[in-house]
A and B are shown apart, each in its own frame.
Chain A
Amino acid sequence: MLRRVLGLGAGRVALGVLLTVVLLAIFGPLVAPQDPLATSTDLLAAPSAHHWLGTDYLGRDVLSRLLAGSRLSVLGAVEVVAMALVVGAVPGVLSVYLGRAFEWVTLRLVDTLIALPFLVFAVAVTALLGNGIPQAMFVVGLLVSPLFYRVARAATLAVARSPYVEAAVIAGASVAWIVRKHVWGKVLPPIAVALAQTTGVGFVVVASLTFLGIGVRPPAPTWGGVLAADLGFLSYQPYAPLAPIVLIMATVWACNLLADALRDASGVAGRALVLRRPRFSGGSRVKEA
C-alpha cells in the first residue's frame, strides 16, 4: 500500500511534507539557530541573515520558536489519532460481532460524542482536569473517535455480509479467525484514510488551543503561540503571521493530500464510505437492518 501511495505524485509530496515536519519535531530544537526563549533588544525585526524569519515583540527568534514548537504539534496530533483509533476503530469492528447489547450501547455513545463541540470541550477539560496539551488531546481524540467507529463498522458490515465470509462462517470458522483473516484487510484502507484526515484535525486543534494560550505555559514556544504573538502587532509587522500560517496550512494540507492519495491507492469508494450518511442525522437504521 505504501508503495502504491508513493507511486502517486500527491502521495510523494504529502509524505515528504509530513516527514519533514516529523524530522523537525525530532531534530528541530537541536538545529534551531537560537535559543527559542532568549529575548533580545531587536524587537519585531524584519527577516534578516541573523533572524531568518524576524523576531517577535520580545525580540525572540521566530524561526527557532517555530522549530521548537513543532514537537508539541506532532505529539498532539499523534495522540489524537492514537486515542481515536483505539477508542473508535476497535469497538467499531467489535460492534458487528459482540452482540446487540454492545452494538446498541456503543451506537448511543457514538451519537453522544458527536453531539459535543470538541473545541469547547477541550477548552473546558484542559482547564478543569489540568492544564496541558496531553489532557486536551485525550478529550479531542475521544470526541473524534466516532469517525473511526463508523468507518470501521461500515467496512466490517460490508465484509461480514459478503458470500466468502458467510461461507467461512458455515465452514465453522471462529470470529477471531474471520476478523484476522478477512476483516482487517478490508477495514485498514478506509481507516488509513480516516487516520490521515484526523491527523490534520489534530494539528489544527493543537494550533487552535495554543493560539488561545490554553494547555501551555506562556514562554513555551508553540505554533499557535507564535501566531498569537504576531497578532498584537499587525500594524508594525503586517507580514509576520505568514510564517506560522504557512507552516500550519502546509501540514494540514499534506494530511488531506495523503488522505486523498490513500483513498486513490486503496480504491476506497470515494468519500461515500468515509462520510456515509451518519446514523446521527437520519435513518441509516434501515440500511443496517
Chain B
Amino acid sequence: MLRRTLAALGRSVALFVPVFLVATFVTFALRSLSGLSPAHFQLGESATPEAVGRIEHQWGLDRPFLAQYASWFHDLLTGHLGTSWFNGADISALLADGAIVSLSVAGFALVIGVVFGSGLGILAAVRRTTWVDRAITGVTTVLSVMPSFVVGILLVGVFAVGLRWFPSAGFVPADRGLGPWLAHITLPAIALSFDTIADLARQLRAGLVAAYRENYVTGAVVRGLSPRRVFFRHVLRNGIGPALAVLGLKFPNLLGGAVVTEAIFGMPGFGQFAAASAQRGDVPAVQGVLVVSIVLVVVFNLIVNVLLARVTPAAARGV
C-alpha cells in the first residue's frame, strides 16, 4: 500500500514539475511583457531616461532576461518573493497575511462543498430515478448557474443586512476566537461553495450510478450482501474517481473566486491584494500572488492524485 502511494506520488510529481516550471516562467515573463518599471513609482511619469535607467539598475532590471529569471527563480525556491515596488515591503510577509484569510474562506468553502456535494450526490445515486433524484438534480442545476458574487450579494442582503445574523464585512483571525472567525468566513464560504457542491454532486451521482450498473455490483447484490456493504465496498470505491478528479480541478476556481467574494465581503485576502497590486502596477506583488496560487493548486492536486491512487481499486491495480 505504502509503495503504491509513493509510486503515485512520484508519478504526480513528475507530472507537476514541468507544470510548475512553465507556469512560473510565464509569471516571470509578465514583467517584460507589461513594460512596467519601478521607476514610475519612485519618479513619476515625467522622469528622465537617465533617472529611470538608474532606478532600473538598482533593481537589477538592466541585466539579461535569463539572468534575471535565474536569480528570481532561485529566490523563489528559497521562499523569497522579492520586495514590492509600491512600498518596498517584503511580499512574502504581505502574502502570508492575505493567504490566511483566503485559505480560511477557500478551505471552509471546500469543506461545505465536499459535505453537501457528496451528500447530495450519494443520496441522488442511492435513490436514483425517484423524485429525490430529480429534486437534487434540479437543485444542483440552480446552484450551478449562480455565480459566487451573485450568491454573495444575496447572502449579504438577507443574512447580514436584513437579519443581522452575520457580520457583513471584515475578517478576524482564528487565534482571536473561533466564534468570530467562523462568523466572518461563513457567508463568503457559502457563496464560494455553490459551484463545488453542484459539480461534485453531479459527478458523484454519475460515477456512482455507473458503478451500480457494473456486473460485480450485481454479483455482490446476488451474493446477498447488505445494501450498505454493497455501497461502501463496491460502489463508492469504484465510482468516486471522477468526482475526486473534479474536486482537484475545483481548487483553482475556489482561489479565483476568492477575488470576487473578498471584494463583496471586504476581506483583506489574497484576491484583494492581487486586485489592488494589479491596479497599482506593482508587478512583483502580482507575480507573488500568481506563484503562491500555482503552488497551492499543484500541492492540492498532488494530494488528490495520491487519494485517487489509494481509494479507487482500478487505480490501485495500475489501470
- List A residues at the B interface (Cβ < 8 Å): 108-109, 111-112, 114-121, 123-129, 200, 204, 207-208, 211-212, 214, 224, 227, 231, 234-235, 238, 241, 245, 248-249, 252-253, 256, 270-272, 275, 277-278, 280-283, 286
Contacts and interface: CB of A to CB of B under 8 A. Distances in A.
A115 B255 CA distance: 11
A114 B15 CA distance: 13
Given A125-B30, A208-B147, A282-B315, A120 B308 contact: no
A114 B252 contact: yes
B274 interface: yes
Given A208-B147, A281-B304, 10 more contacts: A111-B19, A112-B26, A121-B290, A123-B259, A207-B149, A211-B263, A231-B153, A245-B154, A278-B245, A280-B249
A250 to B, nearest CB: 9
Interface in B114-157: 141, 144-147, 149-150, 153-154, 156-157
A200 B146 CA distance: 11
B161 A234 contact: yes
B39 interface: no
B6 to A, nearest CB: 15
B211 interface: no
Q: Is the interface of B mostly helix, strand, loop or mixed?
A: helix
A238 to B, nearest CB: 6
Q: Which 9 A-B pairs have the closest CB atoms?
A: A127-B278, A119-B256, A117-B256, A128-B34, A281-B248, A281-B245, A117-B252, A253-B145, A112-B22
Contacts of B146: 249
Contact of A120 (B18, B271, B301): B271
A211 B149 contact: yes
5 contacts: A118-B252, A120-B274, A129-B30, A231-B156, A280-B15
Given A127-B281, A214-B275, A253-B145, A108 B245 contact: no
A282 B145 contact: no
Interface in B12-30: 15-16, 18-19, 22-23, 26, 30
B260 A129 contact: no
A270 B207 CA distance: 11
Contacts of B157: 234, 238, 241
B161 A111 contact: no
Contacts of A227: 149-150, 153
A115 B279 contact: no
B5 interface: no
A231 B242 CA distance: 38
Contact of A129 (B34, B263, B289): B34
B298 interface: yes
A114 B281 CA distance: 25
Given A112-B23, A117-B255, A281 B301 contact: yes
A166 to B, nearest CB: 25
B237 to A, nearest CB: 15
Interface residues of B, number: 69
B188 interface: no
A249 B145 contact: yes
B260 A212 contact: yes
A112 B301 CA distance: 12
Interface in B215-265: 241-242, 244-246, 248-249, 252-253, 255-257, 259-260, 263-264
B294 interface: yes
Contacts of A119: 253, 256-257, 259-260
Contacts of A234: 156-157, 161
B147 A252 contact: yes
Contact of B294 (A116, A123, A200, A280): A116
A245 B293 contact: no
Nearest to A235: B161
A208 B279 contact: no
A120 to B, nearest CB: 5
Contact of A109 (B22, B202, B252, B305): B22
A115 B19 contact: yes
A224 B36 CA distance: 28
Q: Which residue among A108, A111, A211, A281 has the maximum number of chain B CB atoms within 10 Å of its CB?
A: A281
B206 interface: yes
Nearest to A104: B18
A277 B153 CA distance: 34
Given A118-B256, A128-B286, A277 B242 contact: yes
Given A108-B18, A208-B147, A120 B33 contact: no
B162 interface: yes
Nearest to B152: A231
A238 B163 CA distance: 12
B104 to A, nearest CB: 17
Contacts of A211: 149, 260, 263
A90 B264 CA distance: 38
B301 A238 contact: no
Nearest to B309: A282
B196 interface: no
A207 B257 CA distance: 12
A123 B259 CA distance: 9
A108 B19 CA distance: 7
A31 B260 CA distance: 32
Given A115-B301, A227-B153, A248-B150, A123 B278 contact: yes
A281 B309 CA distance: 10
Contacts of A111: 15-16, 18-19
B11 interface: yes
A252 B145 contact: yes
